[in-house]
Structure 1
Amino acid sequence: MILLRHELGEALREARRAQGRTLRDVAGSAAVSLGYLSEVERGTKEASSELLASICDGLGLTLSELLGVVRDRVEHVETLSAPVTLPVAPALDPDQVSASAA
């Protein structure tokens, strides 16, 4: 099962690390507590839209950029967990089964 908070957290962590920044640095820029940002990145806290916007500002991202990354991540996970369809023999006609059993 896909948890949106996990995908959001991973996307935020990847963006922060790509910039070579620490949690402390981004938390300061975003005016969010260090502990809360850490919990959001780990996917243990559901961040409000206001909080996400603030973190995005701290990272120099737009909310739409973050959500685009999350969309791609979710789509990838959905592709990996898509049900596999197997070939199935055609169903037998119940009348034919009854006639052959007699």
Structure 2
Amino acid sequence: MVLLREELGDVLRDARRGQGRTLRDISARASVSLGYLSEIERGEKEASSELLASICSALDMPLSIVFTEVAHRARRVERASAPVTLPVPTRSEDVVSAA
């Protein structure tokens, strides 16, 4: 099952680390506590839209890019956990094989 807060946290953490920035730097620029930002990145807390916009601004990253990456990650998780479907014979196939 895909948990949006976990995928979002991973995207934000990857973006921050990719920029070589610290939690302290982003938390100060986004005006969010260091602990709360850490919980968001770990997928333990869900950020409000206002807070998310502030974090994205601190990362110099458009919100649309963050959401796009979250959607790509969610799609990969869904595909990996999708149930395998087996072919089910139709009634006409049952009649042919019985003959």
Normalising by structure 2, report the TM-score: 0.87
1:36-95 CA distances to partner (integer Å, 9 max, x unpaired)?
Answer: 1000000010110000000000000011111011011011111111221123344546xx
Normalising by structure 1, report the TM-score: 0.85
1:12 offset after TM fit, Å? 0.3
Structure 1: runs of 5 or more not aligned: 98-102
1:34 maps to what in 2?
34
After TM superposition, what 4+ stretches of structure 1 lie above 6 angstroms from structure 2?
Answer: none
Whose Rg is larger?
1
Hey, what's the Cα distance between the residues in 2 that align with 1:44 and 1:82? 25
Compare relative contact order (CA 8 Å, sep 6+) and give the higher one, 1 or 2: 2
Identity of aligned residues (%): 62
RMSD: 1.5
1:48 maps to what in 2?
48
Q: Which letter does structure 2 place at the counterpart of 1:8?
A: L
1:100 maps to what in 2?
none
